[in-house]
Amino acid sequence: MNYADLDWRIRRIIDNLWGPVGTVLIHIIIVIALFRVVTLQKREIITDVQVIIREIETFKDLEDIEEKLDELADIPTVVDAVTPPTVSLDQEPPQVDTITSAGQATDLSEFDVMEAVSPLRFKGLWAGRSASGRKDALGKYSGGLGNRTEYAVKKAIEWLKTHQYDDGSWGPNYRVAMTGLALLTFFAHGETTSSPEYGMAIRKGLKFLLETQKAGVFVGGGPWHDKGQINAYEHAIGTYAISEAYGLTGIPFLKRAMEDAIQIIIDGQHEAGSWDYGYRSGAEANIDVSLSGWHIQALKAGLMAGAENRGLKMALESSMRGLKVRADLGKTGMFKYSSRAENHAPDRTMTGVAVLCMQLVGHALDAEARAGIQVLMGLPCMWTKGPEDLRGTGRWPLYAWYYITQARFHQGGKSWVTWNKQFAPILCNMQNPDGSWCPAPDSSEAGYGPVYCTTLTALMLEVYYRFLPTYKPIETEKVKPIEKETQDDEIVIKFG
């Protein structure tokens, strides 16, 4: 056998063996590799299950309401980093003239840089009501009158505390409305159900509203009413108070009461955007700016508090149509009162209502609001009525000033500085020694009693911190000048 033939045979044997042997070797290598991967790698499987149990609070009986309200005192309060202004009722406060003449500067820079953004996008509009927020706001916007106004507010809420009825209400008439106004006065000062001095009064007031709502014509939370009839004014003010209560405290069962009340307002809105005294629709409805003003404030408070009613934002936007149709744009610049009084002259009281509501809903720069604020800029604050009604507010000065004060505060600038120097000293000087206020001379407001006068006046003096000023100043110079003045007619504002 030669070497060539041997070499050929060896190569043939190798070729025949490579197939099966190679396959076996490859599988052995794969098995070893897989074995090493499995043995060397640790796989951790962690199963983390989190169970969240949410307790939904409802109240079926009045006993449930009483039991829950008794528990509110245990809610912890938020401790402020800055103490509020020191107010002592044992000492006579400094005179208003002394503070005014001190020349303390009012920081209005924030008014001049506000963007024209709807306040509906903002959160924390109630932040000024904390102790530190009040101190900061009074320093910025009170024009040096903060110590005096806080003294008056403190006396007012002390008076309210001592004049509450045993059932938790305030009166003597229209007790739902008066209770709502009293609670709003406490809330504006940052007092809640857990406040050491006023928590009990607030809890009793809330209990009265909840009990009255429970006794309404609708099972599960009907409207607030008087003598078996729906009273739209009282329902709106009661809703306003409950909404702020929930927004400030977050007490769960208040949300149900708030949303039930808000739904009645949404369902009762007239197709024109306003509200009727009995929540009627159609041509027979009696809709007016004054009544609409409280409903708009209530809806805005509910929105700020976190109400989830379907159609809430749409109702607020629709309400702007109801206001604008009453505007006397291009003539007096003011707003008319009622849909049933087409010949009724536009007046400044309803103008204040409309302008503030348009500011709250984010329409401060609309032509109707700009024309209205221009009218209000020229209005003085006078406690006594002159021979030609220099007050300019007809027979409802406190009611008018409640809206005008807020509207001019949100506008800021010279309009606010001028008004602040007038209204704050006057209201402080006219306060009774016991902390209450009487109606202005020659007005129609005496019939509603001292609670009505005291709460509206105190709410005005709380304007510095009640809502944060988040509105851009209105450019009044672009509005057509007013061509004529009209005589103020008497406006009948009825809670019943």
Residues 427 and 392 in one domain: yes
Residues 417 and 483 in one domain: yes
pLDDT at residue 26, as a whole number: 65
pLDDT surpasses 90 at 222 = no
Residues 249 and 384 in one domain: no
User: Measured between alpha carbons, how far is residue 429 from residues 174, 227, 438 in Å?
Assistant: 28, 38, 12
- Greater confidence (101 vs 42) lies with 42
Domain boundary among 324, 350, 379: 324
Domain boundary among 324, 347, 370: 324
Residues 287 and 416 in one domain: no
Whichever domain contains 279, its CATH number is: 1.50.10.20
Query: For 472-479, what is the mean pLDDT?
Result: 40
User: Measured between alpha carbons, how far is residue 14 from residues 7, 10, 24, 131 in Å?
Assistant: 11, 6, 15, 96
User: Measured between alpha carbons, how far is residue 199 from residues 70, 76, 209, 345 in Å?
Assistant: 11, 12, 15, 45
Residues 216 and 299 in one domain: yes
What is the percent of the chain with per-residue pLDDT over 70, rounded to a whole number? 64
Count of structural domains, the chain: 2
Residues 129 and 147 in one domain: yes
Supply 149's token pair: 């106004």
pLDDT at residue 17, as a whole number: 54
The predicted-structure confidence for 242-257, as pLDDT tens digits, reads as follows 999 999 999 988 999 9
Parent domain of 425:
96-161+326-496
CB 82 within 8 A of CB 132: yes
Structural domain contains residue 314 = yes
Most confident of 7-11, 246-250, 276-280, 338-342: 246-250
The predicted-structure confidence for 386-407, as pLDDT tens digits, reads as follows 655 667 888 899 999 999 999 9
CA–CA gap between residue 430 and residue 441 (Å, rounded): 11
The predicted-structure confidence for 183-216, as pLDDT tens digits, reads as follows 999 999 999 999 999 999 999 999 999 988 877 6
Residues 307 and 358 in one domain: no
Structural domain contains residue 221 = yes
